[in-house]
């Protein structure tokens, strides 16, 4: 068995965790930081999800469910959510880490943990430019 075992509409959460932690150490500082708000959530993320995923390539549904129960809303346990909503709650509210992205917009600096680039479809343009 490989990947993260799904349970109760967890596909959005499973794929997000898999893409963030399975083959990249870019966010490992979150796993070891002493400045997180909820150390229980951090411990579950590190010991029950990331470590088994990297060592065995598989995480059981019960491990992810333990994290889901700490996400400040029962809807994360039973309902399908948007990955952006999951990341904002996990990183911004539960772990309460400093925002990962800082984007300058004029004189203002906007801070995000994730940023979706959505561009209106223009039938005359095959691929949107960065400026769009």
**CA-wise closest residue to 30 among 124, 119, 105, 113:** 113
Residue 129 has pLDDT above 70, yes or no: no
- Mean pLDDT, to the nearest integer, of 19-26? 84
Position 10 in a domain: yes
114, pLDDT greater than 80: no
> Residue 122 pLDDT > 70, yes or no?
no
**Count of domains observed in the chain:** 1
Domain contains 39: yes
Identify the domain containing residue 10 by its residue range: 3-97
81 inside domain: yes
Question: Could you tell me whether strands 108-112 and 101-105 are parallel, antiparallel, or unpaired per DSSP bridges?
Answer: antiparallel
Distance of CA 73 to the CA centre of its chain: 16
Provide the pLDDT for residue 43.
92
Give DSSP secondary structure letters for 22-52. Answer: SS--TTHHHHH-TT-S-HHHHHIIIIIIIHH
Bridge partner list, 103: 110
């Amino acid at each position: 068995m490989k990947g993260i075992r799904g349970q109760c509409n967890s596909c959005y959460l499973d794929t997000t965790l898999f893409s963030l932690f399975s083959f990249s150490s870019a966010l490992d500082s979150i796993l070891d930081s002493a400045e997180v708000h909820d150390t229980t959530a951090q411990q579950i993320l590190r010991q029950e999800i990331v470590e088994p995923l990297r060592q065995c390539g598989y995480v059981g549904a019960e491990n992810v469910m333990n994290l889901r129960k700490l996400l400040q809303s029962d809807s994360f346990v039973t309902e399908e959510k948007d990955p952006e909503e999951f990341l904002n709650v996990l990183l911004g509210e539960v772990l309460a880490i400093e925002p990962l992205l800082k984007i300058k917009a004029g004189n203002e600096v906007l801070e995000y943990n994730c940023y979706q680039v959505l561009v209106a479809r223009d039938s005359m343009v095959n691929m949107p430019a960065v400026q769009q």
